[in-house]
Amino acid sequence: MTLSDTTIRAAKPAAKPYKLADEKGLYLHVQTNGAKYWRQKYRYEGKEKLLAFGIYPDIGLKEARERRDEARKLLANGADPGGVKRAQKAAREERAANSFETLAREWFEKWKTDKATSHTSKVIARLGRDIFPWIGGLPVGCITPPQVLEVLRRIESRGAIETAHRAKENISQVMRYAIATGRAERDPCPDLRGSLQTFRGKNFASVTDPQQAGALLRALDAFAGTYTVRAALLLAPLVFVRPGELRAAKWADIDLNRAEWKYFVTKTKTEHLVPLSRQAVAILRELQPMTGQGVYVFPGRNPTNCLSNVALLAALRRMGYDKDTMTVHGFRAMARTLLAEELHQASEIIEHQLAHRVPDALGTAYNRTKYLKERRVMMQLWADYLDKLKVGAEVIPLRA
C-alpha cells in the first residue's frame, strides 16, 4: 500500500522510530521526536545502500517520489545514486571554495593588513554592495569579460562612474590573487580597456590665493569650537599632511625637542618625516597637557579613537567654507601652490615634503631624509609666511 499526504500527516511519534513504506524502496522514517525523514533503499553491486531525500514537509510526497525515480534511472544506467550524490556535493563545495566571493574575502584579509581602516572599509563595502551579488557565487576561474562588464554597467547606470572604475580595479586585484594562488588562469579586466565611461576626477577644493589664504587663517584662529578641533585646524596648514595622517597623529611619533614628526604613510607605504616649525611646536606644546596622556594627539569623543574627519569638515563649514571652496585636504594644494609661486621653493623639495614618490637620477623613490636640511628651512619659511598672511601685511620687526 502506497502512502498519502493524509497518512503522513496523521503519523505520530512512538516510543521507538518506525517506518512508513511507500513503494519501490521509498519510505518515511518517523523519529521519536516527531521528525519525518525520507529514505530510499536500493542495491548496488550486491550491496544494500540507503539514500536520504530530506525532511517532510520540506520535501513533500510528490518530490520524494521524483527523487526516488531519478535515483532508479541512475541505477538502470549502471551508476550508484549515492556515489553520484557525493560527487555532486563535492563539486558544489569545490565551487564554493573557489568562488569569486571566497577568493575576494581571502585576498581582502591579506591585503588590508597595512592599509588605513578608512580605505579598507570602503573596499569591502564596494565588494559587498556592487560585486558579490552578481558574480560572488561564480567560480573565479570561469568569470568572463562580459560578466565583469555587466557588473560595471550596473554601477555606471546610476551615474557612479568613479565607483565603476574602482570596482574594476578591485575585481582585477582579486583575479590576480586567484592567478597567483593557482585558482584562475587569467584576469578578464584588461580586456575591458576603453569599455567604461571616462572618469574625470575633481581636485580637492582649496584656497590658493594669498589674500584669501590670509582670510582663511584668520578664520581658523578665531574658530570657537572644541580646543582639540581648533588645534588640529591650526596645525593643518603648517604641516600640510593628508587629513587622515593629521587626525591619526600619535604623541609617540612626535619629538618636540627635535621638532620632528615621523610616521608611516599608508598610501605610499613609506616612512615620512615632517620638520616642525616653531609655530607648530608651540601648538603641540599647548595641546600636550590636555591630550598628551593618551595615544592620539587629536582624540575623538572616545579617547581611544582619533578625531573623525567629519569634525574637521564640519568646522570648516561652520566658518563658511563649503565643499567647493575649501576641504581639509585642500591645505596640501594651498601649500604646494604658494610654496612654488610665492616662496619660489624647488618642486622636488615640495614634493618630498608632501610625501609623494619622487624618482631621482638613480631611480630611487621617496626617501624620508632626502633634502631634510632644505625642508627644515622651507617649513620654517612657510610658517613665517603664513603668519604674514594672517596679519594681512608684511611684518617688519622693530629695532631698539
Is 119 catalytic? The answer is no
Active-site pick, 267, 357, 370, 388? 267
Check if 154 is active-site: no
72 is catalytic: no
Catalytic residue among 356, 368, 376, 388: 356
Q: Quick check: is 202 catalytic?
A: no
Check if 344 is active-site. no
Annotated active-site residue 332? The verdict is yes
Point out the catalytic residue in the list 177, 263, 296, 366.
366
Q: Which residue out of 36, 165, 242, 336 is catalytically annotated?
A: 242
Give the residues across from 28 on adjacent strands: 20, 38
> Active-site residue among 165, 332, 375, 390?
332
Which residues are tagged catalytic? 242, 267, 329, 332, 356, 366
